[in-house]
Amino acid sequence: MSYAAAPAVVRLPIGRARFVLFVFVAAFLVLIGRSVWLQAVKTGFLQERGEARYSRVLELPATRGRVLDRRGEALAISTPVKSIWAIPEDLRTSAAQSQQLAKLLGMAPRELERRLAEASRDFVYLKRQIPPETAERIAELGIPGLYQQREFRRYYPGGETMAHVVGFTGVDDKGQEGIELAFQSSLAGVSGSRRVIKDRLGHVVEDIEAIRAAQDGKDLRLSLDSKIQSLAYGALKSAVEAHKAKGGAVVVLDARTGEVLALANTPSYNPNNRARLTGAQLRNRVITDLFEPGSTLKPFTVSLALESGRVTPDTVIQTAPGRLTIGNRTIHDAHPGGAMTVAQVIQKSSNVGSAKIALAMPREEMHELFRRVGFGAPPQLGFPGEAAGRVRDAKTWRPIEQATMAYGHGISVSLVQLARAYTVFARDGELVPLSLVRTDMPAVGRPVFGAATARAMRAMLETATQPGGTAPRARIMGWRVAGKTGTAHKLENGSYAAKKYVSSFVGFAPASAPRLVLAVMIDEPSAGQYYGGAVAAPVFAQVMQGALRLLDVPHDAPLTPIEIPGEGEIAEEST
């Protein structure tokens, strides 16, 4: 093609060329400015976004402290487990992987889909506290956006025997009941944390720094003796089943130190498997349940009269004809008697005799005594749900109420309050503070009665367990025992139920030098027998004998077999 036929070269106007050049230069300057802005001014923002994708702060859970009995046997220990969590927006699974993941997590595929759909974009737990071997199989699926977290699950070797004492933790390893709740702060410890870099599959590729070191929880050694606890629970459970009772409770105290050696309830539950837990199973009856103590309160009324010099153990009280009318109310004895000594009032458990002794004293003195032995105030064990009980103001007492309070009606107490109150007889008149933590030190008691009064009452309470008393079934071979039965009608809707009872027995041994105080309560026995001497006293005997043997307490009685009396040979107490 000739030069003349070639197309002409079109030149842009100089103004337009300069405009295009300006646009290119301006764009270049904007890019440079943006680069400087992001890399010099907004560095923190970019690092934050980058770290949000790859940097993670891992929580390093602290190991929860163990709960031990006084001998060092484990009652609660922590075992390592894994929790599975996900970032829903990063989760990528095939249909087969979803099916397999749901199966390993123990849930339906639809349930897994629903949980992921309802969760936030950043975090959702899929399953807490799964076994490590299951977590390994999940990790092998290699699912992006799926992560694991190391945690601990609590295991309770004592099972239902120790359930009401030790309690349990929730899925977040925080105490929910019992000792686990009461001592949460010391058992839990403090979690630590580390900053790491993870790849898109959730694998740690770089450990950057430690933010805070984990501080493990402290071990807690309780005052409980697991062998005595097991003995108490077994005897109580058998008695509740035999008498078709609604429930029951036992508490064993060391009279020297105030330590709680056993605290058992039934019905109980397995803290390792709480799928079908009910409120009745959770109730710690020793601590929370209140009841009218019945005749177990008579020793306090009589001790007050002894201490003030109004009576002696040999003072004669006329109880004939076995009833006492006050206003429009009449008090009855189960077996009408005649003239009785004060000691026989305790031995035979006379309501009329106790009422007459009480009415000879100012009501304010009785009220003050009840408060001084711990009734009407929590026992200060540091245990969740401690009941205070009820002691009405003395100014509101009518004569009939003062009379019935002498034998435990019109006042409410917990079993642990009642057991603690009996330490005044076992400790020569001193009331001791109680402890659920091992102390191994003699307790410093608070004087309530003089030593002479306490020893006189010990002798009278020993006669109650001898033939002719209300609790011969409380006797054991090799040790002298002392104690008192109680049988009280239950209150329902403000009135006493005709055929519902609380049967109880409180006592101590050896009577010559008391080491243990033991209280038993059986709620609503319905197999025919309901008197404390027939229902609760045998439980006392079984647990007390085994506990004294375990503690190697010296004998103070001959090692001769004890003849168990028949039903007709037991002096029934008044209700």
DSSP string, 192-238: EEEEEEE-TTS-EEEEEEEEE--BPPPPEEBS--HHHHHHHHHHHHH
45 — alpha (psi -120 to 50), left (phi > 0) or beta? alpha
Q: Within its chain, how far is the Cα of 424 from the centroid? A: 26
What does the DSSP 8-state code read for residue 335? S
pTM: predicted TM-score of the whole model, two decimal places:
0.82
Number of compact structural domains in the chain: 2
Which of 178, 204, 221 marks a domain boundary?
221
Residue closest to 226 by CA, chosen among 344, 376, 361, 75: 75
Task: Yes or no: say if 412 and 290 are a contact pair by the CB < 8 Å rule.
Answer: yes
Q: Which residue has the tokens 């493990």?
A: 216
SS3 500: strand
Whether 40 maps to a domain, the answer reads: no
Tell me the per-residue pLDDT of 457-509, one tens digit each, with 9 for 90 and over: 999 999 999 999 999 999 999 999 999 999 998 888 778 888 899 999 999 99
Task: Yes or no: say if 188 and 58 are a contact pair by the CB < 8 Å rule.
Answer: no
Q: State whether 236 and 260 are in the same domain.
A: yes
Whether 327 maps to a domain, the answer reads: yes
Q: Point out the catalytic residue in the list 78, 83, 268, 295.
A: 295
Whether 10 maps to a domain, the answer reads: no
The Cα–Cα gap between 268 and 246 comes to: 12
Whether 4 maps to a domain, the answer reads: no
Whether 175 maps to a domain, the answer reads: yes
Q: State whether 291 and 240 are in the same domain.
A: yes
In the structure encoding, which two tokens stand for residue 457, read together? Answer: 């009452």
Consecutive H or E run containing 254: strand 247-254
Q: Which residue has the tokens 């647990």?
A: 543
Q: State whether 541 and 502 are in the same domain.
A: yes
Whether 13 maps to a domain, the answer reads: no
Q: State whether 536 and 470 are in the same domain.
A: yes
**295 catalytic, yes or no?**
yes
DSSP secondary structure, 409-420, as one string:
-S-BB-HHHHHH
The Cα–Cα gap between 233 and 227 comes to: 10
Q: State whether 542 and 560 are in the same domain.
A: yes
Q: State whether 237 and 124 are in the same domain.
A: no
SS3 23: helix
Residue closest to 360 by CA, chosen among 305, 296, 420, 423: 305
What is the b/e burial string over 467-487, where b = at least 16 CB atoms within 10 angstroms of the residue's CB?
A: eebbbbbbbbebbbbbbbbbb
Task: Yes or no: say if 235 and 542 are a contact pair by the CB < 8 Å rule.
Answer: yes
Q: State whether 379 and 506 are in the same domain.
A: yes
pLDDT at 350: 94
Q: State whether 231 and 164 are in the same domain.
A: no
Which of 221, 242, 262 marks a domain boundary?
221
**pLDDT lower than 70: segments of the chain:** 1-12, 38, 40-61, 118-122, 193-211, 566-572, 574-575
Q: State whether 189 and 295 are in the same domain.
A: no
Whether 136 maps to a domain, the answer reads: yes
Alpha helices (runs of H) in 406-553, residue ranges in sequence order: 415-421, 423-426, 451-464, 532-535, 537-550
CA distances from 53 to 37, 46, 147, 366 (A): 22, 11, 14, 73
CATH of residue 390's domain is 3.40.710.10
Q: State whether 233 and 335 are in the same domain.
A: yes
CATH of residue 78's domain is 3.90.1310.10
Q: State whether 170 and 240 are in the same domain.
A: no
In the structure encoding, which two tokens stand for residue 543, read together? Answer: 């647990």
In the structure encoding, which two tokens stand for residue 339, read together? Answer: 């003239």
Whether 1 maps to a domain, the answer reads: no
pLDDT at 399: 94
Q: State whether 127 and 205 are in the same domain.
A: yes
Supply the range of the domain harboring residue 212: 57-221
SS3 125: strand
Do you find a cis peptide bond into 7, omega within 30 degrees of 0?
no
What is the b/e burial string over 235-272, where b = at least 16 CB atoms within 10 angstroms of the residue's CB?
A: bbbebbeebebbbbbbbbbbbbbbbbbbbbbbbbbbbe
Task: Yes or no: say if 266 and 162 are a contact pair by the CB < 8 Å rule.
Answer: no
What does the DSSP 8-state code read for residue 400? H
What does the DSSP 8-state code read for residue 67? E
In the structure encoding, which two tokens stand for residue 341, read together? Answer: 């000594």
CA distances from 524 to 244, 267, 296, 505 (A): 8, 13, 17, 14
